[in-house]
Structure 1
Amino acid sequence: MGKLNDLSAAGTAVWLDFVDRKFLEEGGLKKLVAEDGLTGVTSNPSIFEKAMGHGEAYDETLASFDKEHPDAATIDRYEHLAIQDIKAAAETLKPVYDRLDAADGYVSLEVSPYIADDTDATIAEAKKLWDAVDRENVMIKIPGSAAGAPAIAATIAAGINVNVTLLFSLEAYQRVAEAYAMGLEERVRQGQPIDRMASVASFFVSRIDTTIDKQIDERVEKGDAEADALKALRGKVAIANAKLAYAWYQEFVASERWQALAAKGARPQRLLWASTGVKDPAYPDTLYVDTLIGPDTVNTMPPKTMDAFRERGTVAETLTQDVDQARAVMAEVDRLGLDLPGVTDTLVLEGVASFAKAFDDLMDAIAKKQPAA
């Protein structure tokens, strides 16, 4: 037993924000499951771009696919590779899924970032990917945008597990939590079971501090009269934002609406802390794990953050501590005119654009890997 196992015991499931063919084939994921109590994996276009776009780990598989499908489009070639990795990860995590009776053991695959603003296209792609992977312990990632919310409700209603991604604000999170409940309620109306449906709401953390801290530093440099108050907020806004989201989650799962679903076997949509790698070297590298520990949550960590927490993380139920202080931090953000709503709106757009750029780069890299003669 180590600190990552202790983290799971404290209620925060340990997921890995990384997937790679070589890592899977060499047993890296199996090792984390066996030794650190890992119970999930997340992927995104940036992760796949790094995995597939560089090196030769995928070349043999791609050559075989190209021989059988010489006229395949680049997107089909990518999906063939990605789905193989997701299936392999799902099979590694299947014993976890079975042991925990579908409460965990999931691997996530994202819909195309090109369709983030298209509800119908998102629903269609989620169903296509779900059918292609054909594993019950898979989640399809859908952005928590205005267009994504109805897609989430429809996808859950269709019996597809969903990882809601790119959440930055409490309001966006509330919208997708409602969408999850709506999807479950629709399944109940259809006479369908809901006791093995699963969803997580991926709340991004470090990017908020990166953006807010930059604003703070710029204002302090210009000699802002509130310099001391501004500096006191550095590295605190993202954590306060997350704590208030969790406080709302606790209220929601205690509500009559949710309790009616729970009575039929519904599982809560767990909050998942994403973007937990620390960007500012002035902060501890375990900051966004240490401070966000609590029941029914997930922390998906890049490998470096996981290594850091294994070595020097601190396990304590921190999510429910200092919630009034978190509210005070958010009040100060508002008073000082840091415009968190504007920041979070921009971060959603930047997140979609970043994934789209990674997807562009990925398609370009795969297109350059010519079919075998």
Structure 2
Amino acid sequence: MALRRRGQSVWRDNNFERSWITNGKLQHYINDHGLRGVLSNFQSSQAAIEAKEYAIDFSTLANQNIKCSAGHKYDYLIRRDVQLAADLLKQTHSQTRGGDGYVQVDLPPHSLFQAQSAIAEAQILWDSIGWRNLMLRIPGEHPGCVKVLSREDNR
């Protein structure tokens, strides 16, 4: 909280774990330690999947005989976690008038090679999460800049 008094915002980077959401740890860090946002990326999501954080979810999808690609299952699970985390940070987002309280998530890697596919994927992700405190990260390399500029031109 001392950092907050000095105008600094603490965000949790990487290791965006479902267990932090479900066991109350994320809420605890928001309430008691002044956590102001979380950052997610595909590497941390992959690590969570490999650590069996989503084993029950994958089993449930299999038991319900839901037939979809691994990518669709991944999208569903990650989007659900992002929604839950964003919900926990809504009050921070509101209190800071949008200055903090975000959940940042990467666009899927497959969408980053074409500007139009990145823009379309960003819109799908934004619409499916449904919270204003979602922050989409687009790589800052030249192709990423083209995507941002293309999006700005379409407004």
TM-score with structure 1 length normalisation? Answer: 0.39
2:142 is paired with a residue of what secondary structure?
A: coil
- 1:102 and 1:67 map into 2 onto residues whose CA distance is 41
Describe the superposition over 1:265-308 as per-residue Cα deviations: whole angstroms up to 9, x where unpaired.
Answer: xxxxxxxxxxxxxxxxxxxxxxxxxxxxxxxxxxxxxxxxxxxx
2:143 to 119, 142, 147: 147
Q: Aligned runs of 1:40-189 on 2, under 5 Å?
A: 40-55=37-52, 57-68=53-64, 70-155=66-151, 157=152, 187=155
Alpha-carbon offset, residue 7 of structure 1: 1.9
In terms of Rg, which structure is larger?
Answer: 1
The change in CA–CA distance for 1:95 and 1:132 in structure 2 (over 3 A counts) is same
Q: Aligned runs of 1:1-373 on 2, under 5 Å?
A: 5-17=1-13, 18-55=15-52, 57-68=53-64, 70-155=66-151, 157=152, 187=155
Alpha-carbon offset, residue 6 of structure 1: 2.1
Alpha-carbon offset, residue 66 of structure 1: 3.6
Amino acid at match of 1:152: V
The change in CA–CA distance for 1:27 and 1:49 in structure 2 (over 3 A counts) is same
Alpha-carbon offset, residue 67 of structure 1: 4.5
Alpha-carbon offset, residue 11 of structure 1: 2.7
CA contact (8 A) 1:19 1:48 kept: yes
- 1:150 and 1:67 map into 2 onto residues whose CA distance is 43
The change in CA–CA distance for 1:143 and 1:31 in structure 2 (over 3 A counts) is same
CA contact (8 A) 2:12 2:35 kept: yes
2:138 is paired with a residue of what secondary structure?
A: strand
CA RMSD of aligned residues (A): 1.9
Unaligned runs of 5+ in 1: 158-182, 188-373
Alpha-carbon offset, residue 68 of structure 1: 4.8
Alpha-carbon offset, residue 144 of structure 1: 0.7
Amino acid at match of 2:84: A
- 1:69 and 1:82 map into 2 onto residues whose CA distance is 20
Describe the superposition over 1:118-150 as per-residue Cα deviations: whole angstroms up to 9, x where unpaired.
Answer: 212211111111111111110111101111113
TM-score with structure 2 length normalisation? Answer: 0.89
- Percent of matched pairs sharing the same residue: 27
Alpha-carbon offset, residue 38 of structure 1: 0.9
- 2:72 and 2:8 map into 1 onto residues whose CA distance is 36
Alpha-carbon offset, residue 29 of structure 1: 0.8
- 2:65 and 2:140 map into 1 onto residues whose CA distance is 35
Alpha-carbon offset, residue 59 of structure 1: 2.1
Which residue of the partner structure matches residue 197 of structure 1?
none
- 2:65 and 2:91 map into 1 onto residues whose CA distance is 34
- 1:38 and 1:122 map into 2 onto residues whose CA distance is 30
Which residue of the partner structure matches residue 200 of structure 1?
none
